[in-house]
Amino acid sequence: MSTFSGLEEIVETDYEIGRRTWYGLGGPADYFICPQTVEQLREVVERCNENDIRYYVMGFGSNILVGDNGVRAAVIKLNGPQFLQTEFSSEGRQLVAWAGVDLRKLVRTCVEKGLSGLEALTGIPSSVGGAVKMNAGGRFGDIGAVVESVTLMDGQGRVFEKSKPELVFDYRQTNIGARFILNAHLKLCPGDPEQILRTVKEVWVYKENNQPALNTKNSGCIFKNPRGVSAGVLIDRAGLKGLRIGGAVVSEKHANFILAEKGCTSHDILRLINVIKDKVREQLETELELEIEVWE
């Protein structure tokens, strides 16, 4: 019996997973699996465990760099119908957003409904699951501020909830250890739709003015901000804007972004990352830590 027999409809083998990331770089994954339901996800996890197959969970691939040799693992993406649901409570203050929901669309829906809480997340290309996992956000706030509880699945397929205060959000991290975030319960508050839209526009304009355009190939900020200093400022101060290795270039607009230009490989980006870390360490005595995940 083959590893995923009976699940053929949701499993692809030797899948060019790099295509699914914002960088669009990197080699294939042994398996690419899109469970349609929680039950199917449990089945997939069981099969992976039985067959000693490592797995990664993928959101929208905006914070991931896949190595040129790909990954000898399964990549699981929660984009079946069950994972795309949004359920607003009658008064609109409570929202259950499932892991595969597009955060940008969710921000728009909340603007239309006159619900405040997600404005700070404007323009972040993420799934809800990915955003919660890394507490996505920026100078205007992060998603952790509105999450009340999450429904999780562990590596044994057990489903359980975690709520605040046990659930803790910190700068670009959470204390969620479970492998899968199934959904998040968000607390919103009714507000003036015009004011909400104004805030969304302000955040959008700030990003447009300060970050590379969305049609460039990049993965957002590469490094975390050390101790509240902008990593971009440090890299800028080290004189590294415009530095190029192969097809990978440090953005002239915001130094914490690396653009992948024509012919770029994941190896180019990884080499550039190392050069940046070395130079910032030598010149500014600061150790930069990756914000993006590298899958190899």
Residues that bind ligand EPU (CB under 6 A): 138-140, 210, 220-221, 224-225, 230-233, 236, 254-256, 291
Of the two residues 84 and 233, which places its CB atom closer to ligand EPU in the complex? 233
Q: Residue 225 or residue 265: which is nearer to ligand EPU going by CB?
A: 225
Instruction: Name the minimum Å distance from CB 170 to ligand EPU.
Output: 12
Phi, psi of 47, deg, nearest 5? -65, -40
Q: Are 96 and 86 in contact (CB under 8 A)?
A: yes
Q: For residues 192 and 6, give the distance between their C-alpha atoms in angstroms, rounded to a whole number.
A: 50
Instruction: List the catalytic residue out of 43, 291, 293, 296.
Output: 291
Shortest distance, CB of residue 144 to ligand EPU, whole angstroms? 13
Q: How far is the CB of 96 from ligand EPU (least distance, A)?
A: 25
Structure tokens at 51: 């067959």
For 204, residues 6+ apart whose C-beta sits below 8 A from its C-beta are 122, 123
- How far are the Cα atoms of 119, 123, 259, 285 from residue 180, in angstroms, in the given order? 25, 24, 30, 37
Q: How far is the CB of 222 from ligand EPU (least distance, A)?
A: 8
* Cβ nearer to ligand EPU, comparing 49 with 214: 214
Instruction: Tell me how far, at minimum, the Cβ of 215 lies from ligand EPU, in Å.
Output: 16
Q: How far apart are CA 122 and CA 211, in angstroms?
A: 13
Distance of closest approach, residue 263 Cβ to ligand EPU, in angstroms: 24
Q: Of 236 and 296, which has the nearer Cβ to ligand EPU?
A: 236
Q: Please pick, among 93, 104, 108, 172, the residue that the annotation labels catalytic.
A: 172
Phi and psi based region of residue 70 (left: phi greater than 0; alpha: psi -120 to 50; beta: remaining)? left
Beta-bridge partner residues of 25: none
Catalytic entry in 34, 48, 110, 221? 221
Nearest CA among 133, 116, 125, 219 for reference residue 174: 133
106/182 with CB nearer ligand EPU: 106
Q: How far apart are CA 288 and CA 276, in angstroms?
A: 9
Three-state DSSP class for 74?
strand
- Minimal CB distance to ligand EPU: which residue? 138
Distance, in Å, from the CA atom of 181 to the CA atom of 173, rounded to the nearest integer, reads 14
Residue closer to ligand EPU, measured from CB, 48 or 234: 234
The C-alpha torsion from 239 through 253 and 251 to 135, rounded to 10°, is 110
Residue 172 is among the residues annotated as catalytic for this protein: yes
221 is catalytic: yes
- Report, as residue numbers or ranges, the catalytic residues: 172, 221, 291
